[in-house]
Amino acid sequence: MHNVADRSLRNDFANRKVGFAYMLRITFAKLQLLKYASRNIECSATYQLPITTYPKKMDKPNDQWKKELTPEQYRVLREKGTEAPFTGQLYLNKEKGLYLCAACGNELFTSDMKFDSGCGWPSFDKEIEGGKIIQKRDVSFGMIRTEIMCANCGSHLGHIFDDGPTETGVRYCVNSISMKFKADQ
C-alpha cells in the first residue's frame, strides 16, 4: 500500500494535477507519520494527520459569514489566512479594555494580558478563562504550530507559541483583524 500511494503521488505531480506546495505538505505529513510510527503511536495510514473536531456554539453557513464579514476578515477568520505583520489596527493599541472575536463578539483577552512581543501581531500571555479559545494542531506550510480559534464560532484567530517572555511562558499571536476592541468605560 505504501508503494501504491507513493506511485500515485508521483503520478499526480508528474501530470501536474497538484501543485508543488501540496506535494510539500504531503511529504511533510508522511514524515510526521514516520515519526508517529517510530513511537508506536496510532495514526491514520492515508498520509493525513488526525484531525480533532471541537463543538461550536455557533454554526453559520459560509454564505452568511461572507455577508457579515469584510473580504479580508473572511479570508483570515474563516479561511485561516494571516494579515501582514505590523499592519493591524490593534497591534499598537495601548487602551484598557476587552478584545473580542470579530466574527461573534466572544470575549477573548483583556488589555492586561497584552504585551509587545515585536512579532508584528498583537500578543497576549493568556486568555480569558472559561474555554473561550480552542487549540488545534496545525501542520500547514511545513511547520508544526498550534492554531487558536474562537470556541464560540470556530473562527481562526492566530497561533500560540511557547516562547512568551512573561511568567506564563506562552505567546498568543493573534491577527488584529480577527478581533474587535471594546474600550473600558
Among 109, 32, 102, 104, CA closest to 73: 102
173 is a catalytic site residue: yes
Q: How far apart are CA 46 and CA 10, in angstroms?
A: 15
Q: Which grid coordinates belong to 14?
A: 508528474
Kindly state the DSSP code that residue 185 receives in the 8-state scheme: -
Out of 101, 150, 153, 173, which one is annotated catalytic? 173
Q: How far apart are CA 29 and CA 100, in angstroms?
A: 34
Please give, one letter per residue, the 3-state secondary structure of 114-152.
EECCCCCCCEECCCCCCCCEEEEEECHHHCCEEEEEECC
Cβ proximity of 146 and 159 under 8 Å: yes
Amino acid at 185: Q
What amino acid positions are annotated as catalytic residues? 173
